Structure 1
Amino acid sequence: MPATTHALPPNAATVEVAVRWSDMDAYGHVNNVQYLRYLEEARVYAFHEWFGQERSLLEDGVLVARTEIDYLAPMTFNYEPALVTLWCSRISGAAFDISYVVGQRGSDLTFARAESTLVTYELSKGRPRRIAEHERAAMKVVLGDPLPLRSHKDRR
């Protein structure tokens, strides 16, 4: 089973996410839909760390436009939390990408790699908005290279 070979950015956040018995599917490993929940939970905690406590990007408005996951190894239940390491891997006018590596405490395996595209959104007007300078500055602190996902081979 693969380990992480991609160099993780030094300012990436790592968030512990509980692996629950109910996350398992009939095959005895974490169900694919649970990975989306792990990524979401890690993102909420990372945004709190990256953007501060007074107002977060979550309250100002952000939508998930795309998520792509490469499943690399089955994660089975044990009492150790999943470890989701995440960082910003692209910033544009109104959107940004977050890259994720999903591991587990006590294991050197990488269970999944993922990437989400998020769009900053003006909730009151119901439309995308440009990324504010303070948000862009916070993202640049945790900016790193994108992960080599399987679909990226088609982009070359």
Structure 2
Amino acid sequence: MNGFPFSCPVEVRYGDIDAMNHVNNAVYVSYLELARVRLWRERFAFAGSAREIPIILARAAVDYRSPIDLADSVEIGVGVSHVGRTSFTFVYRIEASGRLAAEAETVQVSFDYGAGKPTPITEAFRRQLAALRVPTGPKGA
């Protein structure tokens, strides 16, 4: 997908469709999660344990632009717009059959599960995130 260093397809399932005959708004957040997990697996050698990538999701925001229908082909672009001391921001573009369906943003926090508190992002992880940078937020990517 143009402007994003990572993208992946997402299959619309029959159960994603609501009474209005389009993908329910809550499902969009699960699509973002699917894209994040694929990104972890493909770019960060994530094998399945949450402890391998010690982060927590702190925020999710979605701007809905057009409905997604069962017959649509969905593609999600993912990039990094900001890296702070303990957190970083993913931006997303969801396209449905080539048209903009949504723009989104999630904030993840590097987390020490043992201590139960945020921890600074390591330099190695910071370098991996830098490879996914986009120049601006979802509207500019």
CA-CA distance at 1:108 after TM superposition? 2.0
Q: Give distance in 2, aligned partners of 1:55 and 1:22.
A: 25
CA-CA distance at 1:132 after TM superposition? 0.8
Q: Percent same amino acid at aligned positions?
A: 28
For the 8 Å contact 1:50–1:139, the answer to whether it is kept is no
Q: Give distance in 1, aligned partners of 2:118 and 2:101.
A: 33
CA-CA distance at 1:8 after TM superposition? 1.3
**Is 1:146 paired with 2:137?**
yes
- Give the 3-state SS of the residue equivalent to 2:57 in structure 1: strand
Matches within 5 A, 1:131-142: 131-142=121-132
How well do the aligned residues superpose, as a CA RMSD in angstroms? Answer: 2.2
**Is 1:83 paired with 2:75?**
yes
- Give the 3-state SS of the residue equivalent to 1:120 in structure 2: strand
2:111 alignment partner in structure 1: 121
CA-CA distance at 1:47 after TM superposition? 1.6
CA-CA distance at 1:18 after TM superposition? 1.5
Matches within 5 A, 1:89-100: 89-100=81-92
Where structure 2 has 5 or more consecutive residues not aligned to the other structure, the ranges are: none
CA-CA distance at 1:15 after TM superposition? 1.2
Q: Give the TM-score of the pair, scaled to structure 2.
A: 0.89
Q: Which moved more, 1:80-89 or 1:25-34?
A: 80-89
Q: Give distance in 2, aligned partners of 1:136 and 1:37.
A: 25
Where structure 1 has 5 or more consecutive residues not aligned to the other structure, the ranges are: 150-156
